[in-house]
Structure 1
Amino acid sequence: MIDLPGRLLRNLAPCRCAVTWRIAFSGGLDSTVLLHLLAHLAKSQSLPALSAIHVHHGLQAAADAWPDHCRSVCDALGVPLQVVRVQVQPGASLERAARDARYGAFIEVTQANEVLLTAQHRDDQAETLLFRLLRGAGVRGLSGMPRQRPLGKGHLLRPLLDVTRAELEAYADEYRLNWIEDPSNQDRQFSRNYLRHQVFPVLTERWPQAVATMARSAAHLGEAQALLDDLAQIDLARASTDSEFDWLGVPSLELAPLATLSAARQRNAVSHWLGALTRLPDSDHWSGWEDLRDATGDARPLWRLTDGELHRAGGRIWWLSGDWLGTPPAPGTWSDPSLPLALPCNGELTLTGQICDGPLQIRYREGGEIMHLPDRGHRNLKRLLNERGVPNFARGRLPLLYQGEQLLAVANLRGLSGSANDGWFLHWQPPPAIKV
């Protein structure tokens, strides 16, 4: 038998300095072996604190007994267990919805300097490669599951990706481990189950090393993706210029450096940038990027994606999500300007210095606003915003300070945000631009 404990320790070496190792413990064969290995290694090795997390989806009646099974296993091994119940959102793919719910729970519990360990193995990697190939995935998808990646405030690590299912079964038999057999794993309406039970037996009968060679191909594609990531970072560095409106806190890139690249390099750079912000469309649905890129100067193009929108303004592309996608309600009267004012769905407002007495109101643009400037007389607000190049998506959110019907200030804009002579200014802290 292979030295499974020794291999596991070598694979875990990069994260030995973590505070905690959390084991994603479903109760099935793979995670049971991983938990057992780590619990026994902890007796002779100086390891981070161990704990386990079991995610209960509640998708089938049999699953109600699984938390108790997991508790009994963890109690026997002396490993603390956290059971998290999640709600699986309905959708076209139950597999994906369950995975999203599961990883959402993992993200919530994984803190800084902690590592979540999952038990996917080499057979899983081969299945992932074939499954994604059949869906038309690109290099990133075909590189399979990464051995490690950021997760929540910590990291995820898959230390068994070079171990086969047969090796895990042999270990479980040697130590007489008990595990849960999920009935849904036999349901071949699920794509992965169909591949596992119908396709891979035929492949391995003809090509016995199919699983190993497919996993190796995934590793090669992972290296290719790393090179593409390096290229994306080079291209993004040229587009990551400063903007006069960085104070908005909205992620943005300068468009011109991107537009000089080939179409393939544009997609590579933009998808790398967007990958941390949203789920990406497949290669057949990138026309939104082309429309955004090629729009005429006076157009207001946007590209709607799963978790937000990409806008174009002032020669830049801007990522909006969360509160930035809605229309904030009018705040109304500011009863005590000496205190910060929380703006519903629109951040916070503060007033520094002493303003003249009288009730103050905060409003947003409706059109037709006029502002009196000491050196220029009465000016249309739209023209003033045009002069300062304020991005269109931000104009309806800029807090306007009124006293009666007089527009006194526009938050944060040079020359419009207060009175230099009287020493008072209106400061706006915009809402977070990234959905959390």
Structure 2
Amino acid sequence: MVGSQGKRSAELSLPSADRQIQQALSAFLRTRVAPAARLCVGFSGGRDSLVLLHALVALRSSNPAFELSAVHVHHGLSASADAWAGFCSDFCKRCGVPLTIVRVEVPRGSAEGLEAAARRLRHAVFGGCSADWLALAHHRDDQVETMLFRLLRGAGVSGATGMPAERGQSGGPRLIRPLLDVPGAVIARYAQEHSLAWVEDESNGDSRYRRNYLRHEVMPRIEMQFPGAAESLARAGRHFAEAALLLEELAQADRVLVMTASGYIGLARFNSLSAPRARNLLRSELRSAGFRAPTARWLDEALRQLATVEAASATCISSPDGEIHAYRGELHVLRQRPDVPLGAVSWCGEAELPWGADRITFTPTTGAGIHRQLLAGASLRLTSRQGGECLQPNPQRPLKTLKKLFQEAAVPPWERLRLPLLWCGERLVWVAGLGTDAAFACPPGEPGLLLAWQRAAPPPSLGHLPSPC
């Protein structure tokens, strides 16, 4: 048993927290943040983010290799939210760090829950920052809590890896956690060494929240019986991460093995894989398409249905994030997309029109596309398919139903209802993916109009959900 004098001696023998954190930051940023890069800190005003920002200010002053800024998300959920924003503003002014404060409206009745909704909005703000890197202050204790939380919810190998130290965001700065290997006790000592003050979120001490319960009730008891448990669990997380990487490499190898000439997974070859490998490959496909990790029950049911699909038939397996389609012996994984307009959208000469999340562009040309002279003075509108429409794209072939043309062009059934159709009065003029009706084709040298269906970029990935902060 170590007495109080022994404890003080042990504490004095430790390297300063300032030195530990500066070394951790320098090592982490050295291989990532290039000179003149823009580094933004997600700054709540709490102890951890304040220590990160304070240490980065000191690092920048001794080695000014990057531009430093901060962003504070004002959720408005606490009565103290305005005071927190004011504290952050004052601190950043003293440090000479530009601060952006963004207010968000968190839906209180959301099915995902208040915490998850706030987290989603917060990370949407982070993804929109004008920076190259977005730094968050998660540390080793946060990582351990995340691992325990996910394991208790039945996570697999990927979930048990915890939070990544670095990950990309769709169209935004890369998210980094430079203090992820630093113990929480070092963060606390750093704040003490520099006599820092910070804001306290009153909800952090409420053990009714599961994560707080793990932090305040479970982990202290584990540490009493298993000293060094946090480091051991963090090490286990690194082992899980290595195993997850190997599983992903196996999935990519299996994908090459079962891929068809068109680049999709062949259903017959997929079903010839062993159940664990098929399950692993399907998880990888879902993750790549931006799905959240599926439950074991849903995944098993999906595999059962795919195993019974005949080559010439089609099937659809739905989830909250999208759908899995089997079509013409191939597997298609599709994220959920915004609906296209239900009614007609009039065209009055605009250069482009919205079509759900996509857009339709109209480009004047010569000798191609639709003969503009035939459109003069007519009522022009875009609609989605209703059924029974006919088109004659090729003047050498007869008029056919869209259903027949879609089948010949191998347009999948789930795409057909989303395709825009252009009408001139009661005549169908153009169909995305099929082309212009021969009666409206522009002759050489005549003014024409080219239509193009511009698809939106895929929605942000859900496969790696923003981690709590």
Give TM-score scaled by structure 1 length: 0.86
Quick check: 1:270 aligned with 2:294? Answer: no
Give 1:65 deviation, angstroms. Answer: 0.9
Shift in CA distance, 131/87, structure 1 to aligned 2, threshold 3 Å: same
**Offset from partner CA, 1:104-150 (integer Å, 9 cap, x none):** 21112154xx1111111111111111111111101111111111111
Alignment of 1:108-257 (within 5 A): 108-109=128-129, 111=131, 114-152=132-170, 153-237=172-256, 243=262, 253-257=265-269
Q: Which residue of 1 is the match for residue 456 of structure 2?
A: 432
Alignment of 1:38-117 (within 5 A): 38-89=56-107, 90-91=110-111, 93-109=113-129, 111=131, 114-117=132-135
Quick check: 1:368 aligned with 2:388? Answer: yes
Q: Which residue of 1 is the match for residue 5 of structure 2?
A: none
Quick check: 1:312 aligned with 2:314? Answer: no
2:271 corresponds, among 238, 259, 279, to: 259
Amino acid in structure 2 at the alignment position of 1:206: Q
Give 1:34 deviation, angstroms. Answer: 1.1
**What count of residue pairs does the alignment treat as equivalent?**
423
Q: Which residue of 2 is the match for residue 301 of structure 1?
A: 315
Name the CA distance, whole Å, in 2 between partners of 1:259 and 1:350.
44
Name the CA distance, whole Å, in 2 between partners of 1:326 and 1:78.
47
Shift in CA distance, 238/343, structure 1 to aligned 2, threshold 3 Å: farther
Q: Which residue of 1 is the match for residue 409 of structure 2?
A: 388
Amino acid in structure 1 at the alignment position of 2:459: K
Give 1:341 deviation, angstroms. Answer: 5.3
Q: Which residue of 2 is the match for residue 7 of structure 1?
A: 24
Give 1:255 deviation, angstroms. Answer: 3.9
Give 1:212 deviation, angstroms. Answer: 0.8
Shift in CA distance, 210/326, structure 1 to aligned 2, threshold 3 Å: same
Name the CA distance, whole Å, in 1 between partners of 2:246 and 2:439.
50
| Aligned-partner SS, 1:64 | helix
**Offset from partner CA, 1:367-422 (integer Å, 9 cap, x none):** 33344564444434322322332211222333445555554554433796787894
Shift in CA distance, 143/184, structure 1 to aligned 2, threshold 3 Å: same
Shift in CA distance, 343/207, structure 1 to aligned 2, threshold 3 Å: closer
RMSD of aligned residue pairs (Cα, Å): 3.0
Q: Answer whether contact 1:300 1:311 (CA < 8 A) is retained.
A: yes
Amino acid in structure 2 at the alignment position of 1:49: E
Shift in CA distance, 68/278, structure 1 to aligned 2, threshold 3 Å: same
| Aligned-partner SS, 1:88 | coil
Q: Which residue of 2 is the match for residue 344 of structure 1?
A: 355
Quick check: 1:16 aligned with 2:30? Answer: no
Shift in CA distance, 384/7, structure 1 to aligned 2, threshold 3 Å: closer
Name the CA distance, whole Å, in 2 between partners of 1:92 and 1:204.
32
Give 1:204 deviation, angstroms. Answer: 0.7
Q: Answer whether contact 2:369 2:451 (CA < 8 A) is retained.
A: no
Q: Answer whether contact 2:369 2:450 (CA < 8 A) is retained.
A: no
Shift in CA distance, 398/191, structure 1 to aligned 2, threshold 3 Å: closer
Q: Answer whether contact 1:254 1:317 (CA < 8 A) is retained.
A: no
Greater RCO (Cα-Cα under 8 Å, separation 6 or more): 2
Shift in CA distance, 123/402, structure 1 to aligned 2, threshold 3 Å: closer
Name the CA distance, whole Å, in 2 between partners of 1:421 and 1:160.
63
Shift in CA distance, 306/186, structure 1 to aligned 2, threshold 3 Å: same
| Aligned-partner SS, 1:188 | coil
Give 1:275 deviation, angstroms. Answer: 2.2
Name the CA distance, whole Å, in 2 between partners of 1:343 and 1:184.
43
Q: Answer whether contact 1:131 1:192 (CA < 8 A) is retained.
A: yes
Which structure 2 residue ranges, 5 or more long, are not aligned?
1-13, 461-469
Name the CA distance, whole Å, in 1 between partners of 2:432 and 2:43.
51
| Aligned-partner SS, 2:181 | coil
Give 1:27 deviation, angstroms. Answer: 1.3
Which structure 1 residue ranges, 5 or more long, are not aligned?
247-251
**Offset from partner CA, 1:267-305 (integer Å, 9 cap, x none):** 323332332423232222222454356434565422333
Q: Which residue of 2 is the match for residue 322 of structure 1?
A: 337
Q: Which residue of 2 is the match for residue 249 of structure 1?
A: none
| Aligned-partner SS, 1:109 | coil
Shift in CA distance, 204/371, structure 1 to aligned 2, threshold 3 Å: closer
Shift in CA distance, 208/290, structure 1 to aligned 2, threshold 3 Å: same
Give 1:49 deviation, angstroms. Answer: 0.7
Q: Percent identity?
A: 37
Q: Which residue of 1 is the match for residue 467 of structure 2?
A: none
Give 1:365 deviation, angstroms. Answer: 3.1
Q: Which residue of 1 is the match for residue 295 of structure 2?
A: 282
Name the CA distance, whole Å, in 1 between partners of 2:436 and 2:86.
66
Give 1:319 deviation, angstroms. Answer: 1.2
